[in-house]
Amino acid sequence: MKQRSTFGSKLGTLAVVGGSAVGLGNIWKFPYVAGNNGGGAFVIIYIVICFVIALPLMMSEFAIGRSTRSNPIGAVKKLTPQKGWTLMGYASIIASLMILPFYSVIAGWSLEFLKDSLVGGFAGKSAADVALMFEGFVSSGWQPIWWMLGFLVVCCLIVALGIEKGIERYSKVLMPLLVVMLVALAVYSSTLDGFRQSAEFLFKPDFSKIDGPAVVHALGQAFFSMSLGMGSMITYGSYIKKQDKLSTIAGTVAVADVVIALLAGMAIFPAVFSFGISPTSGPDLVFITLPTLFGQMAWGSVISVVFFVLLLFAAMTSVFSMLEVIILYFIEEFHVSRPVASGGAFVIIAGLGILCALSQVPGSSLTVGGQSWFDIFDNLSANIVLPLGGLTTILFAGWVMKKNVLRDQFTENGAYGLKSYSLLKFLIKFVIPVAIAVMFLSLAGLIRW
Ligand code: TRP
């Protein structure tokens, strides 16, 4: 049988897995979610959740993938004879098909804004002008679609090249560039007047601002940001080399993901505060508030080009990981070639992406209960599908799959880390499932605190 591919190097593995984690979730979503939930105290809870809940879940997903060297559905089939659990595998395909379309549409927006930045289109514009530009663009229907399609074609072509020659090769270039650009932006931001205020906003906790919904948002955000609950990390886990420690990879990626989200916050909020804008301006922060500020700042057009390239790269490497879930499933379960699988994935996601984009045109009939398909995919995936995926995965890892798989994967057959393994197992069996279940109950309004 043909040898199954693995990542080429440790650094490559970190770039690929880190590339999956670091995405629109860090740069577009984290700042506004933190802003909406009161800042400092939310950030602390978020960080705790990332390390106590998300990190062990990430390691469990890696273990499921690496022990079976399979796509999420094949992996579940190999780890338990109970048929019902394959539903978990199918759920991951469905989740990818829900996230990819709206994610690609947003990535397409960053291309439009990159174009606008290149021609200096934001110079001297008021927030109302930029809002009009943005709304005009989104509601034009086809314009966002062309950008989305262009973005998706490039991503599918890269993934079609394979793991080492495609995903890994490009991530190894895109991720370092991303970090350099983000650090440069954060350094620039530190010279703005609002720097102190934004450091206080992000790091000075005020626990009176924390309520049940804030904790639920922190959990949903942590799953989204660390690419969990959807099989991405099972799929990537199946390519991790046998000798690499899962704890090192997951730990490094978790730290990088948190640091980059905070850096993004530190790059964005000073400008927000310097110009006296509320940090709670929501999803518009990146596409209306920021461009307005860029248009009024010294060096604004250069900075805005850097920012939107950054957003684009972050989105690309995350999309690779979602595409790979679908593509590996097509390859392994239907025995098609990688290029055919990539083409098939492109057609399906492009179709759903068009649906999402068109559903945002004012007066569109592509809505259900008053919500556009775009919003349905966005909300349903972050609030229900991913946490549910996370819950089933952690229950599967802790209680269902063959004994010793977790131990062997986490400790290299008992060679190291047995003490931390006991702690991890306790978290995986008890603490994490209960925490996620409590979150669901509170989402459903059954508990309030
Ligand atoms: N983590 C990415 C981000 O922060 C998005 C992402 C990639 C993702 N793969 C995923 C989210 C799998 C959930 C599940 O933007």
**Lookup: tokens for 252:** 């490094």
Ligand 1 centroid–CA 349 distance in Å is 16
Does 386 contact ligand 1 (Cβ within 6 A)? Answer: yes
Nearest ligand 1 atom, CA 322: 9
d(CA 168, CA 11): 10
Helix, strand or coil, per DSSP, at residue 5: coil
Q: What is the pLDDT of residues 180-237, one digit of tens each?
A: 999 998 888 888 888 999 999 999 998 888 888 888 889 989 999 999 999 999 999 9
Q: How many CB atoms lie within 10 A of CB 406?
A: 22
Amino acid occupying residue 187: V
pLDDT of residue 214: 87
Nearest ligand 1 atom, CA 24: 15
Does 25 contact ligand 1 (Cβ within 6 A)? Answer: yes
Across 273-294, average pLDDT: 82
Q: What pTM does this model have?
A: 0.94
Q: Positive or negative, the Cα torsion across 169, 170, 173, 179?
A: negative
**Average pLDDT of the chain to the nearest whole number:** 92
- The β-bridge partners of 367 are 372
Q: What is the pLDDT of residues 42-96, one digit of tens each?
A: 999 999 999 999 999 999 999 999 999 999 999 999 999 999 999 999 999 999 9
Backbone angles phi, psi at 118, to 5 degrees: -65, -35
Are the CB atoms for 359 and 367 separated by under 8 Å? Answer: yes
Are the CB atoms for 65 and 238 separated by under 8 Å? Answer: yes
Least confident interval from 154-163, 298-307, 362-371: 362-371
Q: Give which of 6, 31, 27 is closest to 17, Cα–Cα.
A: 6
Q: Where are the beta strands (DSSP E) in 263-337?
A: none
Tell me the CA end-to-end span of the chain in Å, nearest whole number. Answer: 56
Placement of tokens 């704890």 in the chain:
247
Across 346-375, average pLDDT: 91
Has residue 1 got a pLDDT over 60?
A: no
Nearest ligand 1 atom, CA 321: 9
Nearest ligand 1 atom, CA 381: 13
Ligand 1 centroid–CA 276 distance in Å is 31
Amino acid occupying residue 84: G
Are the CB atoms for 93 and 231 separated by under 8 Å? Answer: yes
Ligand 1 centroid–CA 318 distance in Å is 6
Ligand 1 centroid–CA 305 distance in Å is 24
Across 330-354, average pLDDT: 97
Does 393 contact ligand 1 (Cβ within 6 A)? Answer: no
DSSP letter at 287 equals I
Q: Where are the beta strands (DSSP E) in 188-337?
A: none
Q: How many helices (H) and strands (E) does the chain have?
A: 23, 2
Does 96 contact ligand 1 (Cβ within 6 A)? Answer: no
Q: How many CB atoms lie within 10 A of CB 337?
A: 11
Best of 224, 258, 316 to mutate for ligand 1, by most ligand atoms within 8 A of CB? 224
Does 26 contact ligand 1 (Cβ within 6 A)? Answer: yes
